Amino acid sequence: MFTRFKATREQKKLLKAIKKNPDDSSALAQLGWNAYAEHDEDEASRYFTRAIEARSEAFAATDALYGLALIDLEHKRYAEAREMLRQIIKDSPDFQRRAEVHLALGQANEWLWRTSSWKNEKEKAESDLLQRARDHYQQALERKTEQRDSANFFLGKLLYDSQQQEEAISYLQQVSNSTMLDQVEACEANALLGRYFWTVKQDAAKGREFLEMALKKNPKQNLLADIQRQLGDIAYAQTDDDLATQCYEQALTAYKDVQTEEVLETLVNLSELKYRHHWLKAAIDYAERGLQIPTESKTIPPRLLKILAQSYAGIKDYVNAAAYEQQYFQSTKDPDEKAASLLRLGVNYELQEQVKDAVDAYRKGLKFAKRNLEASKLNAALGRLYLHDGRFNQAINHIKEAVEKAEEDKAHAAAVYRLLGECHTARKETEKAIEAYGKILVDFPETGEEPVAREALKDFRKQFKKELQEIERAQKQEDADLQVKAGDAEEVERLLELIDEILDEKGFFERLKEGLAKTHLSFVARIEELLAKSTDVDDELIENLEEALILSDIGVATSQCIIEHLQESVERKELQDPRQIKFYLKREVQAILQGSEKRLDIEREKPFVILVIGVNGTGKTTTIGKMASKFKAMGKNVLLVAGDTFRAAAIEQLEIWGERAGCEVLKHTSGADPSAVMFDAIQAAKSRNVDVVIADTAGRLHTKKNLMEELKKMVRVIARELPGAPHETLMVVDATTGQNAISQAQLFHEGVGLSGLILTKLDGTAKGGIIVGIANDLNLPVTYIGIGEKVEDLREFHAKEFVDALFED
């Protein structure tokens, strides 16, 4: 209110002044500027022109001329503006607003440069106009006035657009935080910086930082769209799909109805994101919008067509899917993509029960497929169709081809082996069928085919057992065919043995489950009981749950950690039904254990030295024996070291294991210094081409200081003789110890530094939950778990397998 009042009062004063003296240039110029500020440019022009004509005061006339030039600039009359501005520079060296004049001249030249037509890029880059624009900005900059930052910005932007990006960036960076720039300039400066760091430097963090800064300055529609699109690109590249989707959708809204390549790129990325997250209708919507936009691009249309084909197939609209698939097939040049497309098309036809078309598509696909996997998938599809059609000879040929090239995709390979099993079964090639199913159990155990293969093998077993019974019966009845049947019996028994062998390989899971039965009872079953009594997930249930967890050996801290996560899920309303708790609990436990898996990389060094330590009787020597057998089976030359010179018969015990595994044992006499044994062992390993050295040690209590010192000395000797060794220092922990195990491991870790744990005797204990506490509290990985005394009872620790065995009823 106040300023307005002042303005009108000043206005009145000025009008009075020119009434008195119509040639008062100063008042006329000021009136011009006032009108200019009110965006009344006609009026401003009139006052400015009168001020120039009056010429009563030189400064005012110059000022008015500058005003006129600015109006011309705004109306894109660059040449006229430039003339006037040049005149000011020439005639009025003392004009106070000289920096502004240079800035305006810079802009006039810049816009003349931008709007002229150039023969080629070179001519454009070497143009005088460009040079002049730069010079004037530079002059404005050097004057260190309020316009300094604007000059900096204009110069930066001009350099950026004239292919001098590095130089441009240094100017723009100086003003990215400036308060002297107006909102629009500040926004553009940061947007340019963001684009530069992201697209030129591939620096996502810096790019995002500047783009977000630009976003805060309220960018105009088009710039907003660009900024959001680039933020989307960054998120997309970093696979932050949610953020990418959000940014792209905002960009699209800001782009409105324009149809540029940028919009098209946004659409194709968005449709891929939607497809990836199974929002198929949205994927289709964006992709079809993308297809409407004319483009020069060779890559985008095929991408759109592929998404459309796959999305329509996903929503079971096979007609549209097939139509787009055919277009995709035509548009892509890559032979393997063509093959993959025909594979999808074939599946599509099968779903529409057009089997003949499907066969044609698969056959045609085989002509294109160069990559193994595509060829294998096409062969498998053909094999499957022929198999179902009863044409076993054709089927087996395709399936065999498929098997050869299937390995790189486990799920697919498993499916192919199942087909092979089915095909051999159909051809009555029983042993080959068993082998095919066996392959799935041994090599692809974590695929969906595993239970199928297991069932198939069990069916064979049942069938053979029945056959055996029949043979027996026939023998008792002294059947005439006795001789023949006896021969059959041998064959059937052999196959039965084969099946048992295969099924037993995976029997570890069953044994693990059996072994964990008590832990299951004390942990899972107790919780199930609790849940059965509850109807709501309320505070009482959570409290009881916490109590149950704490009682189950997983430790207080870990229990609280799990409970906190559960509570978060309750708050987010994901977890509302007590029946869900078991699932959530399982997920939590698995998440904790997942981080604790560790595979020994014995190929890493040669010789690879493993030192095994722990409290008395935890299973060190037994575990070493089992590990030796494993490494031996992998074809490694293993040396066992009898480092336990203390306990009676310890050396003999290791020798028995060594014999069983078929590897050498290096020993001294009982009572010798274990460090001396280690010294000899390392020398021997180096000279005898040993791959893996496993050193046994005497059991010791973590509280016995002198025994800890002895252990440290062994480590020192090993490290001195072979720098970097021991490569693994593994502590064997007896699971039946329960919570004590954690403090034991802690003290050993402080003493010699552990690289991992082996948890033994998980069979039969109720305290198996300790493994969760160990994983959560100690930050030490678990390499192996032991569930019994035999060689096959030691296995690498798989979090998923463990949790499945623990939670399964």
CA distance 28 to 46: 9
Structural tokens at position 166: 């590095």
Q: Which stretch binds Mg ion (CB under 5 A): 81-89, 109-117, 144-152, 618-626?
A: 618-626
Which of 628, 562, 497 lies closest to 772 in space, CA to CA? 562
Which residue from 379, 786, 797, 803 is in contact with ligand GTP, where contact means CB under 6 A?
A: 786
511, 620, 702, 727: residue in contact with Mg ion (rule CB under 5 A): 620
| Structure-token pair, residue 57 | 């005061």
In the list Mg ion, ligand GTP, none, the entry touching 622 (Cβ below 5 to 8 angstroms by class) is ligand GTP
Give the binding range for ligand GTP (CB under 6 A) out of 45-53, 336-344, 537-545, 644-652.
Answer: 644-652
Residue of 245, 195, 243 lying closest to 219 (CA atoms): 195
621 near ligand GTP (CB under 6 A): yes
**Of 697-716, which residues contact ligand GTP (CB under 6 A)?**
699
CB of 797 to ligand GTP, least distance (A): 13
Which of these segments, 315-323, 538-546, 643-651, 768-776, binds ligand GTP (CB under 6 A)? 643-651
- Residue choice 561, 650, 665, 666 for contact with ligand GTP (CB under 6 A): 650
Instruction: State the nearest-atom distance from the C-beta of 623 to ligand GTP, in Å.
Output: 6
643: contact with ligand GTP by CB under 6 A? no
- Site pattern 573..612 for ligand GTP (x: CB under 6 A): ----------------------------------------
Binding at 763: pick from ligand GTP, Mg ion, none (beta carbon under 5-8 Å per type): ligand GTP
Residue 621 touching Mg ion (CB under 5 A): yes
Candidates 147, 522, 618, 729: give the one binding ligand GTP (CB under 6 A). 618
Q: With contact defined as beta carbons under 8 Å apart, do 620 and 784 qualify? A: no
Taking alpha carbons only, the member of 601, 609, 623 closest to residue 678 is 609
Instruction: Examine residue 647 and tell whether it contacts ligand GTP (CB under 6 A).
Output: yes
Contact 759, 735 (CB under 8 A): yes
Please report whether residue 622 would count as binding ligand GTP according to CB under 6 A.
Answer: yes
Q: Which does 152 bind (CB under 5 to 8 A by kind): Mg ion, ligand GTP, none?
A: none
Instruction: Give first-to-last CA distance, the chain, whole Å.
Output: 79
Task: Please tell me the total number of residues recorded for the chain in this structure.
Answer: 809
All residues at 6 or more sequence positions from 290 whose CB lies less than 8 Å from its CB, including other chains: 264, 267, 268, 271, 300, 304
CB of 626 to ligand GTP, least distance (A): 8
Nearer to ligand GTP, 207 or 643 (CB): 643
Q: Which stretch binds ligand GTP (CB under 6 A): 296-304, 588-596, 711-719, 781-789?
A: 781-789
The reply to whether 763 sits near ligand GTP by the rule CB under 6 A is yes
Q: Which long-range contacts (CB under 8 A, 24 or more apart) does 718-723 make?
A: 718/609, 718/611, 718/678, 718/682, 721/678, 721/679, 721/682, 721/683, 722/607, 722/609, 722/682, 722/685, 722/686
Residues facing residue 758 across a β-bridge: 732, 784
Binding site for GTP, by residue number, is 614-621, 696-700, 760-763
Pick the stretch among 154-162, 197-205, 613-621, 772-780 that binds ligand GTP (CB under 6 A): 613-621
Q: Which of these segments, 118-126, 241-249, 538-546, 614-622, binds Mg ion (CB under 5 A)?
A: 614-622
User: Which residues are registered as beta bridge partners of 782?
Assistant: 597, 757
Minimum gap (Å) between residue 612 Cβ and ligand GTP? 8
Nearer to ligand GTP, 619 or 726 (CB): 619
CB 191 within 8 A of CB 225: no
Q: Select from 448, 595, 617, 662 the one that contacts ligand GTP (CB under 6 A).
A: 617
106 binds, among ligand GTP, Mg ion, none (CB under 5 to 8 A by kind): none
**Which does residue 769 bind out of Mg ion, ligand GTP, none, counting CB within 5 to 8 angstroms by kind?**
none
How many helices (H) and strands (E) in the chain?
39, 8
Residues 6+ apart with CB under 8 A from 77: none
- Angstrom distance (rounded) from CA 132 to CA 443: 73
- Alpha helix stretches (DSSP H) within 691-793: 705-721, 740-752, 770-778
Whole-Å CA distances, 772 to 584, 618, 753: 15, 19, 21
- Residues of the binding site: 614-621, 696-700, 760-763
Q: How many CB atoms lie within 10 A of CB 483?
A: 9
Residues 218-257 touching Mg ion, rule: CB under 5 A, are: none
How many residues at the interface with ligand GTP, by CB under 6 A?
A: 21
Rounded to the nearest whole angstrom, what is the least distance from the CB of residue 304 to ligand GTP in the complex? 57
Kindly report the CA angle at 417 between 379 and 369, in degrees rounded to 5?
25
Give the residue with the Cβ less far from Mg ion, 633 or 656: 656
CB of 621 vs Mg ion, minimal distance in Å: 3
Does position 619 bind ligand GTP by CB under 6 A? yes
Closest to 344 measured CA to CA, from 315, 381, 384: 381
* 350 is an interface residue for ligand GTP by CB under 6 A: no
**Segment lying near ligand GTP (by CB under 6 A), choices 48-56, 69-77, 383-391, 757-765:** 757-765
| SS3 (DSSP) at 513 | helix
Peptide bond preceding 22: is omega within 30 degrees of 0, i.e. cis?
A: no
DSSP state of 780: -
Instruction: State both tokens at 178.
Output: 């400036």
Q: Rounded CA gap, 69 and 108, in Å? A: 10
409 binds, among ligand GTP, Mg ion, none (CB under 5 to 8 A by kind): none
Closest-CB residue for ligand GTP? 699
Measure the CA–CA gap between 467 and 475, rounded to whole angstroms: 12
Closest CA to 156 of 172, 143, 144, 142: 172
- Residue 779 interacts with ligand GTP (CB under 6 A)? no
Q: Which is nearer to ligand GTP, 365 or 614 (CB)?
A: 614
Longest CA pairwise span in the chain (Å) = 145
Q: How near is the Cβ of 688 to Mg ion at its closest, in Å?
A: 24
Closest distance of CB 621 from ligand GTP, Å: 3
Task: In whole angstroms, give the CA distance from residue 247 to residue 191.
Answer: 15
Interface with Mg ion, residue 645, by CB under 5 A:
no
Single residue of 244, 787, 803, 806 touching ligand GTP by CB under 6 A? 787
How far apart (Å, rounded) are the C-alpha atoms in residues 35 and 64? 12
Shortest CB 522 distance to ligand GTP, Å = 17
Q: Which stretches of the chain bind ligand GTP, using CB under 6 A?
A: 614, 616-622, 644, 647, 650, 699, 732, 760-761, 763, 786-789, 793
Q: What is the contact surface with Mg ion in residues (CB under 5 A)?
A: 620-621
